[in-house]
Structure 1
Amino acid sequence: MSPSIEEKRIEDELSYPILLAERVRLAVDESESFKAECAEVGKQVDRLSQMLRTVVRFTTPAQSLYERPIRRVVSEVSKNLERSLTLVRKCKRQSVLRRVVTIVSAADFRKLLNLLDASVGDMRWLLSIFDSENGGASGGIVLTLPPIASNDPMLSWVWSYIAAIQMGQLSDRIEAAIELASLAKDNDRNKKIIVEEGGVPPLLKLLKETASSEAQSAAATALYNIANDQERVRVIVSELGVPTIVNVLSDSIMKVQIQVASLVARMAEHDALAQDDFARENVIRPLVTLLSFETFVDDPRANSGKQSIHTIVQINKEMEKNSFVGSKNYRPYLYSEYCSSRSGQNRKDRENEKPEVKIKLKIACAEALWMLARGSVANSRRISETKGLLCLAKLVEKEQGELQFNCLMTIMEITAAAESNADLRRAAFKTNSPAAKAVVDQLLRVINDLDSPTLQIPAIKSIGSLARTFPARETRVIGPLVTHLSHRNQEVATEAAIALQKFASPQNFLCMEHSKAIIEFNAVPPLMRLLRCNDRTQLHGLVLLCYLALHAGNSEALEQARVLTALEGADRTVVAQHPELKELVSEALYHLNLYHAGVHPQRQAYAP
Structure 2
Amino acid sequence: MATKSSPRIPQKTLIIEEQTRIEDTLSFTILLSERIRLAVDEARLFKFDCSEVGNKVVVISQMLRSAVRYAISGGGAAAFYDRPFYRIAADVTKNLEKALTLVKKCRRGNFLCRVVTIVSAADFRKIFALLDSSVADMKWVLSIYSGDGGGGGIVITLPPIASNDPILSWVWSFIASLHFGQLQDKIEAANELASLAKDNDRNKQIIVEEGGIPPLLKLLNDNSSPEAQLAAAAALSNLSNSEERVGQIVDDLGIPIIVKGLADSPVGVQIKVANLVATMAKYSPLAQDDFARENVFRPLVTLLSCDIFPDDPMIIIGKQTFHSIVQINKEMEKNSSRLGSSVVSSKVGKRENEKLEVKLKLKISCAEALWMLARESVHNSKRISETKGLLCLAKLVETECGELQRNCLMTIMEIAAAAEYNADLRRVAFKTSSAAAKAVVEQLLRLIQESDNSWLRIPAIRAIGSLARTFPARETRVLGPLVDQLSNGNQDVAAEAACSLGKFACPDNYLCIEHCKSIIEFKGVPPLLRLLSGNERAQFHGLILLCYLGLHVGKSEALEQSRVLSVLEGADRALIAQHPELKELISKAMYHLNVYHSGVLPQGQSYTP
Measured against the shorter chain, the TM-score band is over 0.9
Deviation at 1:313, TM superposition (A): 6.8
Check conservation: 1:288, 1:386, Cα contact below 8 A: yes
Counterpart pick for 2:141 among 108, 122, 126: 126
Q: What residue is the counterpart of 2:390 in the other structure?
A: 389
In 1, Cα distance between equivalents of 2:399 and 2:122: 80
Contact 1:340–1:347 under 8 Å retained in 2: no
Letter of the 2:149 counterpart: G
* 1:211 counterpart letter in structure 2: S
Question: 1:51, 1:337 → 2: CA distance?
Answer: 46
Q: 1:300 to 1:37 in 2, by over 3 A?
A: same
Aligned match of 2:165: 152
* Shift, 1:93, TM fit: 3.4
Question: What is the aligned partner in structure 2 of residue 25 from structure 1?
Answer: 37
1:34 and 2:46 equivalent?
yes
Structure 2 CA distance, aligned partners of 1:502 and 1:314? 37
Q: Aligned ranges for residues 207-286 of structure 1 at < 5 Å?
A: 207-286=220-299
The alpha carbon displacement at 1:583 in A equals: 0.9
Q: Give the AA of the match of 2:284.
A: D
Residue 48 of structure 1 is matched in structure 2 by 60
1:303–1:385 CA distance, 2 compared to 1 (3 A): closer
C-alpha separation in 2, matches of 1:299 and 1:310? 7
Report the Cα offset of residue 34 of structure 1.
2.2
Q: Which moved more, 1:297-306 or 1:270-279?
A: 297-306
Shift of 1:605: 5.5
Provide Cα deviations, 1:312-364, integer angstroms capped at 9, x if missing partner.
4774476456069xxxxxxxxxxx995445x5322211111111111111100
Moved more, 200-209 or 177-186: 177-186
For 1:474, the equivalent position in structure 2 comes to: 475
CA contact (8 A) 2:505 2:516 kept: yes
Quick one: distance in 2 between partners of 1:151 and 1:301? 70
Question: Do 1:583 and 1:605's aligned partners in 2 also have CA atoms closer than 8 Å?
Answer: no
Pair 1:106–1:75, CA change in 2 (3 A) = same
Q: Which amino acid aligns with 1:414?
A: I
The 8 Å contact of residues 319 and 386 in structure 1, kept in 2 or not, is answered as no
Cα offset, 1:104, TM superposition = 2.9
Scaled by the length of structure 2, the TM-score of the pair is: 0.92
Within the candidate set 89, 112, 119, 2:127 is matched to 112
Range moving further from structure 2, 429-438 or 30-39: 30-39
> Closer, same or farther in 2 for the Cα pair 1:218/1:312, shift >3 Å?
closer
Q: Secondary structure at the match of 1:358?
A: helix
* Amino acid corresponding to residue 579 of structure 1 in structure 2: P
Residues 45-70 of structure 1: per-residue CA shift (max 9 Å, x gap): 00101111222333323254432112
Q: Is this contact kept in 1: 2:457–2:493, CA < 8 A? A: yes
Task: Give, in whole Å, the separation in 2 of the partners of 1:323 and 1:31.
Answer: 75
Shift in Å at residue 527 of structure 1? 0.5
- The aligned length equals 594
Offset from partner CA, 1:110-163 (integer Å, 9 cap, x none): 21111101101111111221233x334x43211011100111111111111111
Residue-by-residue CA offset, 1:199-228 (whole Å, 9 max, x unaligned): 111111111111100000010011111111
Q: Please identify, of 63-72 and 189-198, the stretch whose mean Cα deviation from structure 2 is larger.
A: 63-72
SS at match of 2:523: coil
SS in 2 for 1:301: coil
Q: Is the 8 A contact 1:431 1:470 kept in 2?
A: yes
1:384 offset after TM fit, Å? 0.7
* C-alpha spacing 1:320/1:340, structure 2 compared with 1 (3 Å): closer
Q: Once the two structures are aligned, what percentage of the paired residues are identical?
A: 67
Alignment partner, residue 11 of structure 2? none
Q: 2:411 aligns to what?
A: 410
Partner in structure 2 of residue 12 of structure 1: 24
Once the two structures are superposed, the pairs formed by residues 35-184 of structure 1 within 5 Å of their partners are: 35-59=47-71, 60-65=73-78, 66-93=81-108, 102-132=117-147, 134-136=148-150, 138-184=151-197
Q: Could you say which residue in structure 2 is the equivalent of 1:330?
A: none
**3-state SS of paired residue (1:439):** helix
Matches for 1:473-492 after TM superposition, within 5 Å: 473-492=474-493
1:575 Cα deviation (Å)?
2.4
Q: Name the CA shift for 1:576/1:185 in 2 (closer, same or farther; >3 Å).
A: closer
- Give 1:531 shift: 0.7
Greater displacement, 410-419 / 291-300: 291-300
Query: In the alignment, is the contact (CA less than 8 A) between 1:494 and 1:540 conserved in 2?
Result: yes
Correspondence for 1:598:
599
Task: Give the Å deviation of 1:279.
Answer: 1.0
Indicate how the Cα distance of structure 1 residues 436 and 568 shifts in structure 2: closer, same or farther if over 3 A, else same: same
Q: Is 1:322–1:338's contact at 8 Å kept on the other side of the alignment?
A: no
The answer to whether the 8 Å contact 1:546/1:585 transfers is yes
Aligned residue type for 1:466: L
Change (3 A) 1:304 1:516: closer
Q: Is the 8 A contact 2:591 2:607 kept in 1?
A: no
Deviation at 1:277, TM superposition (A): 1.1
* Alpha carbons of structure 1 residues 303 and 580: separation in structure 2 relative to 1, 3 Å: closer
**CA distance in structure 2 between the partners assigned to 1:376 and 1:605 by the alignment:** 44
Cα distance in 2 for partners of 1:603, 1:412 equals: 45
- In structure 2, relative to structure 1, the CA distance for the partners of 1:115 and 1:323 (3 Å cut) is closer
Residues in 1 aligned to 2:336 and 2:233: alpha-carbon distance in whole angstroms: 27
Gaps of at least 5 residues in structure 2 are 9-13
Superposition pairs of residues 348-497 of structure 1, within 5 angstroms: 348-497=349-498
TM superposition shift of 1:468: 0.5
Q: Tell me the SS of whatever aligns to 2:199.
A: coil
Question: Is 439-448 or 51-60 further displaced after alignment?
Answer: 51-60
Which stretch shifts more, 20-29 or 291-300?
A: 291-300
Q: Distance in 1 between matches of 2:138 and 2:317?
A: 74
The 10-residue stretch of structure 1 (464-473 or 160-169) with the greater mean CA deviation from structure 2: 160-169
Cα distance change of structure 1 residues 581 and 605 upon mapping to structure 2, 3 Å threshold? farther
Residues 116 and 179 (structure 1 numbering): CA distance in 2 closer, same or farther, change over 3 Å? same
CA drift at 1:92:
2.3
How many Å separate the matches in 2 of 1:70 and 1:359? 46
Structure 2 residue aligned with 1:503: 504
Q: Distance in 1 between matches of 2:266 and 2:105?
A: 67
How many angstroms does 1:573 deviate by? 5.4
Unaligned residue ranges in structure 1 (runs of 5+) = 325-335
| Worse-matched range after superposition: 538-547 or 294-303 | 294-303
**Matched residue of 1:459: which SS?**
helix
Question: Aligned pair in 2 of structure 1 residues 191, 406: CA closer, same or farther (>3 Å)?
Answer: same
Residue 296 (str. 1) matches residue 297 (str. 2): no
Superposed displacement of residue 72, structure 1:
1.1
Cα pair distance change 1:251/1:575, threshold 3 Å: same
Cα distance in 2, alignment partners of residues 150 and 303 from structure 1:
68
Q: Secondary structure at the match of 1:546?
A: helix
Tell me by how many angstroms 1:287 deviates: 0.8
Q: Rate the CA distance shift 1:499–1:11 in 2: closer, same or farther, 3 A.
A: same
In the TM superposition, what are the counterparts of 1:314-325 in structure 2 within 5 Å? 315-316=328-329, 319-320=332-333, 322=335
**Structure 1 letter corresponding to 2:587:** S
TM-score, scaled to structure 1: 0.92
Q: Please, what is the CA RMSD of the aligned residues?
A: 2.6
Structure 1 residue 13 displacement after superposition: 2.1
Structure 2 CA distance for partners of 1:454 and 1:387, relative to 1, 3 Å: same
